[in-house]
Structure 1
Amino acid sequence: MAAVAEISVDSAAATKLDSNAKPDTEFNVQKLVDMFTKLNPLAKEFVPSSHSHNHLRHLSSNQFYPNNFLVKPSDNDNYSNNRRRRNNFNQGRRLNGRVHKAQREDSIRRTVYVSDIDQHVTEERLAALFSSCGQVIDCRICGDTHSILRFAFVEFADERGARAALNLGGTVLGYYPVRVLPSKTAILPVNPTFLPRSDDEREMCSRTVYCTNIDKKISQAEVKNFFETACGEVTRLRLLGDHVHSTRIAFVEFAIAESAIFALGCSGMLLGTQPIRVSPSKTPVRPRIAHPMSC
């Protein structure tokens, strides 16, 4: 009996010692966890062959930390990236604004303002007068063709031409001496895609006039009837307008060039309630391209 009791005591003591130690299973699991934390999840041997390169590139766009676990960028990172992009955009916009301002100021320095222009003087004749001062790259005559209150802007290739043009003030062109002053504004450039592309389109321009200050209540049919009654057959007319401007504009193409010349004399005449302004067109009236209807 004493031997049996001794064996029981030894067994109980062994059981108590074993209860304080960790089971073998728990120890093995912990070893596996420690091993896996040291592995790279993007290592070649761990990436299934079914995954494409695009998937790997997508993974690489995320961030990795020293423990090699994949972590999504935080909201702070996204905020910083978005703010950086906005700053870059604003800086680019300010830079473009400064470039455009510098270009406009350069154009103004190369431009002169000419007033008291005879009603019979054309843009070609005015440009020919100032070509002795330097290369003329643009010439625009504005105002009522029935009065000497017409004015023009002449732009040169360089500032020397504009300075030399000031000396032509007082030169008689037609019946009146012109006045020449430095310009305070630049000539608004014509979109080059609208300019004539061929001899046929240049001929179309000679038969076309540009009409402004058209009453918004006037229809296209009324504009066409006005010019056909006063000048001759109209072959094409385009009436344009928007919600910003209080009046509309039109390009009127005649069958013959003589009708376009007569139309220039209509400047100042009432069309509806507004006196229209008519000038030679620098662009042809191209036919609209009809888009095929989808089935």
Structure 2
Amino acid sequence: MSRPSSLVSAAVPPLRHIILKKKVTAAARPLHLLRQGLTLALARISAGPLSASGSGMRASRPRTIAAFSTVAPHVPHSTMRRSTTVLFKGFPGDVSREEVEVFFSDCGDVRNVTLRVYQYITEISSGYVRFASQDAVDRALQLDGKEALGKPLHVSELFEHTDTINVGPTPRHIDKARVKALFSSCGEVVDVQVHTTLAGFYAGKSYALVRFASPSSVAKALKRPITLSGKRLYVARAKQRNPNVSLWDEYAHIHEGAARSVSAFDLPPQVNDIRLKAEFESCGEIEHAHVWRALRTGTSIGVGWIRFSSPESVEKALQLNGKTIDGHCIRVHPAPPSRPAIMDYPARPTEYEQTKKIFVGRLPHDIDASRLRREFERFGRISDVRLGQRHETGSLRGFAYINFVDPRSVEEAVQHDGKFAIDGFTVKIVRDYAPKKKPGGSANTGSREPDGSLYDSQHRTESWEYDY
């Protein structure tokens, strides 16, 4: 799905990120750091394979570790291999960089730690850890599903492309030919894509992906300092969480949607999804119209996105640039491609069972459980409604979980995703999934991230928030 290039910085509070490059010494270990559960977890790691017996930690699901080699031979144009970097999520929001590094240092030599703290999710921190060896990665992956500092910890690995680099931040709307010229001295460039990052570490910025004909060109690009407009660019191997499909394959789908979409800017605050669709209906059949709203308040940020059924409608829509709506002169531009989701989200595991629960996003911030129940009872009897709230204030976060009595109600409800409106704004409706029960009857309570869709799991609330 395509999105406006300038919306994220306005819609999403900035990420505070810090890169730790200095190794924490052993003398630093007695930090206020390992508040009891960490030392125990790491002792288990040092002793051998993690076990839940007697530890008070939850058992993680078995995972198969691939060899350090190409894992996607069916993708002829871009090979991938395991990297020495893992992504973690689940530490409390006030965890320090030193705590994170010391926590993972027993797995092996830590070369770099990137800590991400979301200003609107103060209770959870996430980030990246780069190790010196693959063995350290394997040991870190054994921590997936364990409890650390009273919260479940999720650890997943990243796969890197041998022929592709990630470059940025670049000026918005930079020409692909300019990016290609920057790296042509490193070797033959066969593809360039400039995207706007909507989620994760680079939210709100534009970055470029450059694919070379030879992996040796990547090594040259990594060694050579590249500057643009007087600023040195970040250059690294492109990584993604899903090893089964290349990001270059996903670009084909992204561009198909972008070719049928436009972005609208400077919209009046009273314009909602229904009104936006009405303003552009004269251009052709519309599949979806969406007004972005501020996460904390639920109010419009003046940016909209319209996807048509046909690319021919885009040319008509672009002619509405300068149109006046309620005294506001709006701007209409082609919708740029977005960052491939597989760079940030893994494929949905197969060991998850469907429940009678749905996730509903993009809700009005003043809605209550009674009204939400009335709105969704058209799909069937409801047993429970749970509204998402901020822990620190109790204010609503614009999403909810609804449990139906009959699973068939879920099937009917998800058919109205993006079509069902409350107070003029269409809501996001997706099914929720539960961990698959083990043979003994207990559920697998390990890492719960069924991310075939960006909205499928309550453990990934930040994913839908970027699309709010």
By the TM > 0.5 criterion, same fold?
A: no
Normalising by structure 2, we get a TM-score of 0.27
1 or 2 for the larger relative contact order (CA 8 Å, sep ≥6)?
2
Q: Which has the larger radius of gyration?
A: 1
Richer in helix (by share): 1
**TM-score for both structures, normalised by structure 1:** 0.39
